[in-house]
Amino acid sequence: MSDLETFRNETREWLDKNCPADMRDGAVSEATQCWGGRNWTFTSEGQKLWLERMAAKGWTVPTWPKEYGGAGLSKDETEILQAEMKAIGARKPHDNFGITMLGPALLKFGTHEQKLEHLPPIARGELRWCQGYSEPGAGSDLASLRTKAEDKGDHYIVNGQKIWTSYADKADWIFCLVRTDFDAAKHKGISFVLFDMATDGVTTKPIKLISGSSPFCETFFDDVRVEKSNLVHKPNKGWDVAKYLLTHERGMIGEVFGNMTGGRSLGEIAASEIGIDDMGRVDDPLLRAKLVQAEVDSLAFSTLLQSVSERAEAGESLGAVSSVLKYYGTEMNKRRHELLMEIGGSDELEWSEQNDDGQRSKDWLRTKGNSIEGGTSEVQLQIVAKHILQMPNA
């Protein structure tokens, strides 16, 4: 037996023995996921056990080195682990911006001490992170940010305001872009710092969304003390970290939406909710045509993802390709959710107990943010035109 086969068998056996029954429903929504953190209340004993057991194996962040809380798995092994988890419908043991965003940035730019301090608690789900980039005056033009960090020798004093900080009110720590040099060109005076949200002077104010929920906040900093040991990379080089992370984030967002075809297809949902005609086709020819087009797009997009991922593995530097994925994946996801609303008709337009308190329309409204968060579609297209196509400026 090859090593990989042995690994597969052992993984399967371990998962079967250790994944609690209630963690095997394949749920992936923000509502069911375990976010971890100081104030996390587990929704069940199963959720708690699952996180502990997976963390002990290093499988919450399987590719991270062992010393930082991971399992040091190879790409092939990670794929096996994911496939085996999927096969039994295992949920992710936990997920938050520490795993998906800060982790990769620290692994690339952090010092050994910073990695040792911050990565293991992320892996174990003990600390929950949020992303402090956008400001009221700095959205698409992120580099114009003005939150100020004054150099006080061994620490900085931070003053300013962030906005759209997802889950800032629930997060324990923040990774944050601050301006350390007001005289330099706008990209050259930014630094990347980390601090505890419980530090004096940090306040958050939730923003109510069109779906009625409040997952993001305005975040205010009033004379917040940040130790220099929590500066990632060099002073005034924060933009490099931010750019690396944004590229990573965009690729990831694109991927999430590219892998949605695994569940029930739009066609199946429509057939069961709208009904079929004598020939077994969704009983609305125009809707059927729109659904099949959406499925064609999704399936084609997943092949693009596959090809990009293989090119990345082969060592190609992809950079702006993440903008291609982010743009297409999010726009496609919005179209799919419009179609789900169309399928659902008036039943899904109610806030009622029968439809899980309007979950489908909440999801629909949430998708409108996909093409805004992590850089808008317009910004992605601009990046593609400029950096991939190298088209001339106006």
Partner 1 sequence: MSMMLNEDQEMLREAAAGFLKENAPVSAFREMRDSNSTEGFSRDLWSEMAQMGWVGILVPEEYGGSAFGMVGAGLIAEEMGKHLTTSPFLSTSVLATTAFAKFGSEAQKQHHLPKISSGECLYALAVDEGAKHAPAKINLKAERSGNGFKLSGQKTFVANGHVADHVIVAARTSGEAGDENGITLFLMDANSMGLDKTASSMVDNSSSARLRLSDVEVNADAIIGEIDGGFEPLETILNAGRACLAAELTGCADQAFNTTVAYINERKQFGVPVGSFQALQHRAAHLHTEIEMAKAVTLAALQSVDGEDEHAWRLTALAKAKVGQVALLAAQEGVQMHGGMGMTDAFDIGLYLKRVRVAGEMFGDASWHANRIAEALSF
Ligand X SMILES: Cc1cc2nc3c(=O)[nH]c(=O)nc-3n(C[C@H](O)[C@H](O)[C@H](O)COP(=O)(O)OP(=O)(O)OC[C@H]3O[C@@H](n4cnc5c(N)ncnc54)[C@H](O)[C@@H]3O)c2cc1C
Q: Name the residues that contact ligand X, by CB under 6 A.
A: 131-134, 139-140, 164-166, 216, 369, 372-376, 378-379, 382
Query: Rule CB under 8 A: is residue 209 a binding residue for partner 1?
Result: yes
The DSSP output letter for 199 is S
Among 1-9, 135-143, 246-254, 314-322, the segment contacting partner 1 (CB under 8 A)? 135-143
Using an 8 Å Cβ cutoff, are 10 and 59 in contact? no
Rounded Cα gap, residues 150 and 228, in angstroms: 11
Bridge partners, residue 192, by sequence:
177, 232
Which of 96, 8, 85, 6 is CA-nearest to residue 53? 85
Structure tokens at 265: 């297809």
Nearest approach in angstroms of CB 335 to partner 1 is 10
Query: Considering 77, 84, 135, 249, which one is annotated as catalytic?
Result: 249
Nearest approach in angstroms of CB 272 to partner 1 is 12
Query: Rule CB under 8 A: is residue 350 a binding residue for partner 1?
Result: yes
Of these, 28, 260, 292, 372, which contacts partner 1 (CB under 8 A)? 372
Using an 8 Å Cβ cutoff, are 34 and 42 in contact? yes
The amino acid present at 175, given as its one-letter code, is F
Among ligand X, partner 1, none, partner that 166 touches (CB below 5 to 8 angstroms by kind): ligand X
The amino acid present at 187, given as its one-letter code, is H
Alpha-carbon Rg for the chain in angstroms: 22
Structure tokens at 181: 């040099």
Query: Rule CB under 8 A: is residue 22 a binding residue for partner 1?
Result: no
Nearer to ligand X, 132 or 189 (CB): 132
Query: Rule CB under 8 A: is residue 116 a binding residue for partner 1?
Result: no
Query: Rule CB under 8 A: is residue 344 a binding residue for partner 1?
Result: yes
Contacts with partner 1 in 309-338 (CB under 8 A)? Answer: 334, 338
Rounded Cα gap, residues 88 and 21, in angstroms: 10
Query: Rule CB under 8 A: is residue 287 a binding residue for partner 1?
Result: yes
27 HSE (CA, 13 A, CB side): 15
| 313 annotated active-site | no
Which of 149, 28, 32, 171 is CA-nearest to residue 102? 171
113 SS3 class:
helix
Using an 8 Å Cβ cutoff, are 81 and 31 in contact? no
Nearer to partner 1, 89 or 345 (CB): 345
Binding mask 143-172 for partner 1 (x = CB under 8 A): -x------------------xx--------
Q: Which helix (H) or strand (E) holds 151?
A: strand 148-151
> Which residues contribute to the site for partner 1 (CB under 8 A)?
134, 137, 139-141, 144, 163-164, 207-210, 212, 273-274, 284-287, 290, 334, 338, 341-342, 344-352, 358, 361, 365, 368-369, 371-373, 376-378, 381-382, 394
- Catalytic residue numbers, as ranges: 249
